[in-house]
Chains A and B, each alone.
Chain A
């Protein structure tokens, strides 16, 4: 068991006053047998009016509305989690076998998938390594080159991307080979940025793998949300009125609790 304290704060500053601002956040860790929430609080500024709910994937949502003029928006999610072996027992929702908007195969996904020789006698876990190796061979980690709308196909064509793109390509290839896979957002111990990895389903259990680091996502991964792809688990979304430049600052700290 690993006990981690996390503190995640996002500050968006607007160059002009904005109003009629609606937001939707998935910034609260998800409870499961692999992850117990010991302590969790979230505050929102400038107006801490929020509503709790759960989306159809079971992720915790915080939503709210600020009607009046304001020029910054801040949310801070803090707490302590206990991490156990990253295995989640759950009956398979077949949804995760099928392609989704951002993982839709065109030419590149079938091409890379068909080029991968999966071991016939080996376990799914071995095959996951083979797939991740192939994904890493076709993508270079380059930050800032892709956006939240980039599809797996586009990232492959580019040959570059960030954790989101690694996860999308990996999920698309898994699904191509009949392995159910889903997208996960969260934090990793010792890293100052939010991260994305995948979960794959085998024998009634979800296991986690981190294609960006090309390793199983076992120790120090705090999970916030999962879905078919990024679009199901965006950490913060918002719409507002007013013309303004936005400046985004993220402060994330994940440390072992003494």
Chain B
């Protein structure tokens, strides 16, 4: 299917270089822009698999959006005993400052990155929801543009959904929530952010302005883009690539230079849309993850289509006993960590480490979750001229505007280290294109 494409590997790499497809990485404190390693063998998802994934993702993200709306307002799901209040109020991602705020058009998670894996029996599992600033979609998008140039036959022979519409999905989402038809901007922390390529590429392709914190000011609870000669233009929507705590130094971390002072005031008054909304961290917390299928039932009255990886919450006595009895076979995750950090495999730990983690789980049970290790499908990658198998995952992107759309592609990341289970670009993996087949 893709043998012609593999032959064009060098051409593809040359084009990647030409377009500056890079990924920033800090090594020993020094910033480096590297080419994000691209593997020419695509991940292929059949049309029937996709139909189920798509339906499952739409359902999941809709429920998550309803959950966020509920949590920052009525909190029915807590009052009705589905989720213990402790999981909300102790979550690092819960922002009390957002209480009572309903963002423009009621959308909290405009762009959701849902991480999935496929087990050897073919079942897809959701590993993680990313509802804050999921990144990575630009890579398969530009990779497709390049592979179509490098090997047109590959794409005339296979019926693959085009994925270059990602930027127009983003633009539609921005248009939809734009307040008073203001300027549309992507707010970037700057070149030394690992995903800077993505910020600038999406700004180009979506036709929106790329702004730095200094370019924006808040006056009379309105956000303005500061043009030359003090020409100020009203901003209606900010697709921010800066995390909550740095977004407004007067509302949160007061030492932040990346943020826009008093942005929170403009947002609270509904004068600007921020995508994704502030406070979404409460819904993609690793502890809350356990409850997502229950949210689907609670808010939508449906059974969840997509499965979670089997998860145990030591917070519940019964689960705690099970986890402590089966530590060696489980993977333990620290709910406060992200990006592949704070993930420990029982099978890799020595007695000392096991005792240590046992102790931590007993004393601070809310901080941990345990999951069964899913034996997921390895994907072929090219290593030199040779095909080898590596662990991989799939980040699907779901865009919510008037309707919820799933982008018909995704970021497939793989580990380059053959013994590693952790697939994450901050930890030195590569990526593949993801083909969703039309038939």
Contacts and interface: CB of A to CB of B under 8 A. Distances in A.
A–B direct touch in complex (beta carbons closer than 8 A)? yes
A238 B261 CA distance: 9
Contacts of B86: 98
A95 interface: yes
Nearest to B251: A24
Interface in A91-136: 94-95, 97-99
A55 interface: yes
A53 B265 contact: yes
B261 A239 contact: yes
Nearest to A148: B254
B85 A94 contact: yes
A107 B379 CA distance: 47
Interface residues of A, number: 25
A237 B250 contact: yes
Interface in B199-222: 217-221
Interface stretch (A56-64, A198-206, A249-257): A56-64
A24 B98 contact: no
B89 A53 contact: no
B191 interface: no
Nearest to A24: B250
Contacts of B220: 49, 51
B221 A53 contact: yes
B218 to A, nearest CB: 7
Nearest to B86: A98
B250 A63 contact: yes
Contact of B268 (A53, A67, A228): A53
A49, A95, A97: most-surrounded residue (chain B CB, <10 A)? A95
B254 A56 contact: no
Contacts of B98: 56
A95 B101 contact: no
Q: Determine the interface band of chain B, counting residues with CB < 8 A from chain A.
A: 20 to 34
A232 B97 CA distance: 9
A22 B218 contact: yes
Contacts of B96: 56-57, 95, 227-228, 232
A14 interface: no
A65 interface: yes
Contacts of B268: 53, 55-56
A51 B223 CA distance: 13
Contact of A94 (B89, B97, B221): B89
A163 to B, nearest CB: 20
A97 B89 contact: yes
A56 B218 contact: no
B262 interface: yes
Contact of A95 (B89, B219, B261): B89
A24 B101 contact: no
A53 B96 CA distance: 16
A83 B260 CA distance: 38
Nearest to A237: B250
Contact of A51 (B89, B97, B249, B265): B265
Contacts of B97: 55-56
Interface in A222-244: 227-228, 232, 237-239
A65 B220 CA distance: 8
Nearest to B260: A22
Interface in A41-59: 49, 51, 53, 55-57
A51 B221 contact: yes
Contact of A22 (B100, B101, B230, B262): B262
B218 A65 contact: yes
Contacts of A95: 89, 96
A53 B269 contact: yes
A228 B90 CA distance: 13
Interface in B253-272: 254, 261-262, 265, 268-269
A23 B97 CA distance: 17
Given A55-B97, A98-B90, A237 B254 contact: yes
Contacts of B261: 22, 24, 65, 239
A211 to B, nearest CB: 23
Contacts of B101: 56
A239 B250 contact: yes
B249 A239 contact: yes
A56 B250 contact: no
Nearest to B257: A239
Contacts of A53: 221, 265, 268-269
B262 A98 contact: no
Given A57-B96, A228-B96, A63 B85 contact: no
B265 A63 contact: yes
Contact of B262 (A57, A65, A94, A99): A65
B99 interface: yes
Nearest to A66: B219
Given A51-B221, A53-B221, A63 B100 contact: no
A65 B265 contact: no
A67 B232 CA distance: 12
A250 to B, nearest CB: 19
B281 to A, nearest CB: 14
Contacts of A97: 89
B89 A98 contact: yes
A20 B254 CA distance: 16
Interface in B338-384: none
6 contacts: A53-B265, A56-B96, A56-B99, A57-B96, A67-B217, A228-B96
Given A56-B100, A56-B101, A67-B217, 4 more contacts: A22-B218, A95-B89, A237-B250, A239-B254
Top 8 A-B pairs, shortest CB-CB distance: A22-B261, A56-B99, A98-B89, A24-B250, A65-B219, A63-B262, A94-B85, A237-B250
Interface of A: 20, 22-24, 49, 51, 53, 55-57, 61, 63, 65, 67, 94-95, 97-99, 227-228, 232, 237-239
